[in-house]
A and B are shown apart, each in its own frame.
Chain A
Amino acid sequence: MRVRKNIATSDEGFLFNPTTGDSFSTNAIGAEIILLMKKDIPTSEVVDTICEKYDVDKALFERDLEEFTLQLKGNSILE
């Protein structure tokens, strides 16, 4: 689960793929997850970090993260 090297991201959740010209916007939590993903940390660490910071059920977050990850892969944001 690695963000492609050439993907430009902003703290506000704007993503730009310079190979395809596609751009995307995520909400604040999406932006936070992507910034974590850019650190090349394991998925479990992303889950732990978010679950520690926010009052969220771990199983629910894992499901949402999986869905989000599929979207990112589908749009060539993740390798």
Chain B
Amino acid sequence: MTAIPLGVPRRLVGFTVDGQEARVPEGSTILDACRAAGKDVPTLCQGDTLTPKNACRVCVVEVEGARTLVPACSRKAEAGMEVRTDSERARHSRKVVLELLASSVDLSTTPKVAGWIKEYEAKPDRFGSDAARLDEEPKIDNELYVRDYDKCILCYKCVDACGDQWQNTFAISVAGRGFDARIAVEHDAPLTDSACVYCGNCIEVCPTGALSFKSEFDMRAAGTWDESAQEETTTVCAYCGVGCNLTLHVQDNEIVKVTSPHDNPVTHGNLCIKGRFGYQHVQNRD
């Protein structure tokens, strides 16, 4: 039998971040505390609607007394902890992680990463131009999604969003092991032969643009994608009565992308195929 989920009363835990006193509710992560204090810790595999997977390691920070660096996205804050987000060791680790990722993966559509590479003085080129890459063409097997695994950092967010954390469709999983590991649908088939229901919730969480809407992919290819000219307006979906909030990304009076606010009580950032893609009818203008 369940109890009314009021939650356990949460104490505040006090600890220090970079020498400053911080107090956060029990159960918060170091990342929560850093963000609350306005400190920027880079993240890639962390998702605000997902359970941390600790895959990418760019958010590592140093905790006094800990043997290894800890991922800020999943390590819970503890009373008395001394956290250093900007120590030499943490910065060096981030630099190497960024170099390894950027040399093996196309990060050209990853938001903010160019700034981090500069900030941490990462030099992805130092492994030479023949550093291992997947080198394959984007997979375009339907009119809604494009999968460009050259851009995939194997963060598992799409696997979690498609799996038991949200969509429960289980169309996406990891194929292969070790160096051969890659994100795929069952038997590495075309998306159209998979269990995919085209909700786009994997694209919503993808941090690098490896998964993208075909509308965005085509506009990028044509050189017309211009985020600075896009306006975002949140409204309510026009299909069933569930009332999902949609954020319409509009460029030149055309909807070019649809997302949903991650903190929305109805959707938690998730949509279905109709809400995500069923907007074309309003702009069939001639």
| A and B interact physically | no
- Seen from chain B, the residues whose Cβ lies within 8 Å of a Cβ on chain A are none
- Seen from chain A, the residues whose Cβ lies within 8 Å of a Cβ on chain B are none
